[in-house]
Amino acid sequence: MARKTKAEAEQTRTLILDTAEKLFHEQGVSHTSLADIAQAAGLTRGAIYWHFQDKLDLFNAMHERIAMPFSETLEKLATLEDPLGALRIRCIEDLENLVDDEHLCRVLSVILHKCEYVAEMGQLCERFDSHVCKVMEAKEKVMYHAHQLGQLRRGLDPHLAAVALHNFMLGTISDWLFAPERHCSLRRDARVLVDIFFRGIAAAPLPD
C-alpha cells in the first residue's frame, strides 16, 4: 500500500487505539488478538506492528491516554485554604464526570475488570502501581495539610485517611463499572456516597 502523510499516519494510530480500547472492553485483553483489532479497524496486523512494538506496548499507549488528568490537578488542592472541602468536591466531581465520559469508563473498565495482572504484565503492573502511588501521595499531602488546619478528626492518621479515601473511591468506581446502576445511580448518589465517607474523617459537620 501507499505511504500516507504524517497526519494520516497519526490518524491511523489513533484509530488503532480507539479500536483496541473498544475490543478490549468487549472481549477482554487476552481474548482480543491483534488480528481482531486490525480487522475491526479496517487495517492489517502490519499496521499495528508498525505503530506499536506488540500488544503490551499498545496497552501501555492506551493507558497513557487517560493517566495524566488524575494526579496532576490533585496536588494543587493541598495549597488551598479549605483542602478537605476541596478534596470532597473533587471526589464528587470525579464520580459525576465519570458517568458522562464513555471513553474514560471503557478504559477504566478494561483496567479494572478486563485485564489479568500477572508476570507477563509485570511492566504494566509497575506502571499502574507507581501511578497509584503518585495519586496516593497527592491525597496524602491534602490530608496532611487538612490535619494541620484541624480539619481532620483528632487522632486520625492523615496517611490512613488517604488510604481509606483511595480504597473507597476505588471500590465505588470498580463496583459501578462492573454493574452500572445496579446498586446505585452514580449520577444521582455520588454526593451522598462521598459525603458518607467525609463525615467519617472531618472534624466538623459538612456544609450543606
Partner DNA sequence: ATTTACATACATTCATGCATGTATGTAAGA
Partner DNA sequence: TCTTACATACATGCATGAATGTATGTAAAT
Binding site for DNA (CB under 7 A): 1-6, 8-9, 12-13, 31, 33-36, 38, 43-47, 49-51, 54-55
| Residue 184 is a binding residue for its own copies (CB under 8 A) | yes
* Single-letter code of the amino acid located at 183: H
Q: Would you say 8 or 126 has its CB closer to DNA? A: 8
Phi, psi of 115 (to 5 degrees): -155, 140
The amino acid at 33: S
The CA–CA distances, whole Å, from 11 to 16, 57, 154 equal 9, 18, 54
Contact residue for its own copies among 8, 101, 157, 181 (CB under 8 A): 157
How far apart are alpha carbons 203 and 84 in whole angstroms? 10
Residue 99 within binding range of its own copies, rule CB under 8 A: no
Q: Which does 18 bind (CB under 5 to 8 A by kind): its own copies, DNA, none?
A: none
Strand partners, 202: 152
C-alpha cell at 158: 492523615
Question: Reduced to 3 states, what is the DSSP secondary structure of residue 152?
Answer: strand
Residue matched to cell numbers 496517611: 159
Q: Which does 52 bind (CB under 5 to 8 A by kind): its own copies, DNA, none?
A: none
160 lies in the binding site for its own copies (CB under 8 A)? yes
Residue closer to DNA (CB basis): 118 or 196: 118
Interface residue with its own copies among 8, 10, 11, 27 (CB under 8 A) is: 27
Amino acid at 55: K
Out of its own copies, DNA, none, what residue 6 binds, judged by CB under 5 to 8 A for its kind, is: DNA
Toward DNA, which CB reaches closer, 22 or 45? Answer: 45
**Contact 90/74 with Cβ under 8 angstroms?**
yes
| Residue 50 makes contact with its own copies by CB under 8 A | no
Residues recorded for the chain: 208
Half-sphere exposure of 134 (CA within 13 A, CB side): 15
| 156 touching its own copies, by CB under 8 A | yes
What residue ranges bind its own copies (CB under 8 A)? 26-31, 113-120, 129, 132-133, 136, 153, 156-157, 159-161, 163-164, 166-172, 174-175, 178-179, 182-184, 189, 192-193, 196-201
